[in-house]
């Protein structure tokens, strides 16, 4: 069979719906400055789908530094990979400040979060080693685990008894292989919003010999007294052996970092293929991230305002009878019962009739017959945004219960 013929015959689980969904459910075009209200298909919507937790995307100091550093340096400098010709004082300064903030000896900047953690997992383990990881780990972790040529055991989501069972299996296996054990989980799970059970997993170190890698993409900047993450929140930051996070969420930027003991970071610097063979982060990104980190540390009111909005939104939804699952973070999932066609019609109604833009998740990510509407509150949202959203959720959920979405589309969707 011709390769292109194969691709067009089987377009994949999402691709087969592309003609129906494109530019509306998938690849939507939110226009205007990043914020709680943006334009979509020519109308203003209240947006709950952006991970700009602290509202830094349009913070005036951030915009000023981004613009000035771009004017000073352009996007080309430094050229080449960090190892060959792309290092700078500023790159190392950002690494040092991140290390101090998250309480680790050393840090390594990464170009992207997704490729970064994949490459880190690939570098940390070899075929003799065993990976034990949470079943609901993000796709980047799953893909990193797939690169592993040795054994891997998955434990039921946040199930410590099952985690220990997999650790027992792993411990027996490494006796034969002479390898080591790496446990991987998340600080905050981005879909359900529940924190990983870091304290309980760390306690298992008393009985098993393993190292703990935590992906804290949604916890960095939002969790803990200082914003240093979910480990700080749970009082176990020292027990996290390898701490990973991205700049793409609370920092409203791009890139990522990984922090650990100095010798471990040095090992990663010389063994992570995604960094050895990739161009260094451009200088404006690095300088912009230095400013973002400065604001994260010096303006605690940003996180305080974020959590004020989180509580207002989540308390309001719960008071109106909505199921938010087990979230204990900023991530706000709303679970409803309905079919995929009903979910599609509900989302269209939310966007077109009530000007609410949020993300919807369906089977196979969650069980059949359920729909998940995920909201990401930010420090930039207002009480008015929240009140209008709560009212809209009450209205559309009643329509769903009354069967209105089981018939025909409520509006004509202006598909692009």
pLDDT computed for residue 282 by the predictor: 97
348, 21 in Cβ contact below 8 A? no
Task: Look up residue 188 and give its DSSP letter.
Answer: B
Beta strand 359-361 with 370-375 is antiparallel
pLDDT computed for residue 416 by the predictor: 45
pLDDT computed for residue 199 by the predictor: 98
Among 172, 234, 227, smallest CA distance to 199 is for 234
Among 349, 278, 238, 222, smallest CA distance to 82 is for 278
The set of long-range contacts for 385-390, using a CB threshold of 8 Å and a minimum separation of 24, is 385/36, 385/37, 385/46, 386/309, 386/312, 386/313, 386/316, 388/46, 388/354, 388/355, 388/356, 389/46, 389/48, 389/313, 389/356, 390/313, 390/316, 390/317, 390/320
135, 166 in Cβ contact below 8 A? no
CATH 3.40.640.10 fits 60-298, yes or no: yes
Domain boundaries, the chain: 3-53+300-406, 60-298
Please list the residues that pair with 376 across neighbouring strands. Answer: none
pLDDT computed for residue 409 by the predictor: 53
Under 8 Å CB-to-CB from 322, ≥6 apart: which residues? Answer: 334, 335, 393, 397
* CATH code for residues 3-53+300-406: 3.90.1150.10
Q: What is the DSSP string of 296-307?
A: HHH-HHHHHHHH
Which residue's structure tokens are 């204990």?
Answer: 328
Among 177, 193, 199, 187, smallest CA distance to 126 is for 177
pLDDT computed for residue 254 by the predictor: 96
Measured CA to CA, the distance from residue 78 to residue 237 in angstroms comes to 33
Structure tokens at 232: 């700080």
398, 335 in Cβ contact below 8 A? no
54, 381 in Cβ contact below 8 A? no
Under 8 Å CB-to-CB from 240, ≥6 apart: which residues? Answer: 198, 202, 212, 213, 214, 231
pLDDT computed for residue 14 by the predictor: 65
Backbone angles phi, psi at 256, to 5 degrees: -160, 180
Among 241, 128, 249, smallest CA distance to 188 is for 249
Residue 354: burial class (beta carbons within 10 Å; 0-12, 13-18, 19+):
middle
In what helix (H) or strand (E) does residue 275 lie, and over which residues does it extend?
A: helix 273-276
Structure tokens at 260: 């650990």
pLDDT, averaged per 10 consecutive residues of the chain (416 residues), comes to 86 66 85 95 96 96 97 96 96 98 98 95 97 96 95 98 98 97 98 97 97 98 98 98 98 97 98 94 97 97 98 98 97 93 91 94 77 96 98 96 78 50
pLDDT computed for residue 410 by the predictor: 46
pLDDT computed for residue 12 by the predictor: 72
Structure tokens at 146: 């797939």
Q: What is the pTM of this model?
A: 0.94
Residue 100 CB: number of other CB atoms within 10 A? Answer: 14
């Amino acid at each position: 069979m011709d390769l292109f013929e194969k691709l067009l015959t089987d377009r994949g689980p999402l691709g087969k719906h592309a003609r129906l969904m494109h530019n509306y459910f998938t690849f939507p075009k939110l226009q205007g400055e990043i914020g709680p209200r943006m334009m979509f298909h020519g109308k203003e919507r209240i947006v709950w789908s952006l991970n700009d937790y602290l509202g830094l995307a349009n913070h005036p100091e951030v915009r000023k530094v981004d613009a000035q550093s771009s004017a000073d340096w352009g996007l080309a400098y430094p050229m080449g990979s960090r190892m060959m010709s792309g290092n700078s004082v500023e790159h190392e300064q950002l690494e040092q400040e991140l290390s101090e903030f998250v309480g680790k000896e050393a840090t390594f900047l990464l170009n992207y979060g997704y490729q970064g953690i994949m490459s880190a997992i690939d570098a940390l383990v070899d075929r003799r080693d065993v990976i034990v990881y949470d079943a609901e780990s993000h796709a980047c972790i799953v893909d990193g685990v797939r690169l592993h040529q040795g054994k891997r055991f998955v434990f039921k989501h946040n199930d410590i008894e099952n985690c220990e069972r997999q650790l027992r299996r792993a411990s027996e296996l490494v006796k034969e292989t002479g390898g080591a054990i790496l446990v991987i989980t998340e600080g905050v799970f981005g879909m359900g919003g529940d924190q990983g059970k870091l304290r309980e997993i760390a306690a298992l170190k008393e009985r098993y010999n393993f190292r703990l890698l935590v992906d804290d993409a949604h916890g960095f900047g939002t969790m803990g007294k200082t914003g240093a993450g979910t480990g700080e929140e749970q009082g176990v930051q020292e027990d996290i052996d390898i701490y990973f996070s991205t700049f793409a969420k609370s920092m409203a930027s791009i890139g990522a970092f990984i922090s650990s003991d100095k010798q471990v970071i040095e090992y990663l610097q010389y063994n992570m293929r995604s960094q050895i063979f990739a161009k260094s982060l451009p200088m404006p990104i690095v300088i912009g991230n230095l400013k973002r980190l400065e604001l994260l540390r010096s303006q605690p009111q940003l996180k305080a305002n974020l959590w004020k909005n989180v509580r207002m939104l989540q308390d309001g939804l719960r008071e109106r009878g909505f199921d938010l699952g087990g979230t204990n973070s900023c991530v706000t999932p709303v679970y409803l019962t309905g079919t995929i066609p009903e979910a599609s019609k509900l989302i269209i109604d939310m966007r077109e009739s009530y000007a609410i833009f949020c993300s919807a998740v369906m089977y196979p990510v969650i069980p059949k017959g359920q729909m998940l509407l995920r909201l990401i509150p930010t420090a930039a949202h207002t009480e008015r945004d929240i009140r209008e959203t709560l009212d809209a959720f009450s209205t559309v959920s009643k329509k769903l219960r009354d069967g209105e979405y089981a018939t025909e589309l409520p509006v004509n969707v202006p598909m692009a």
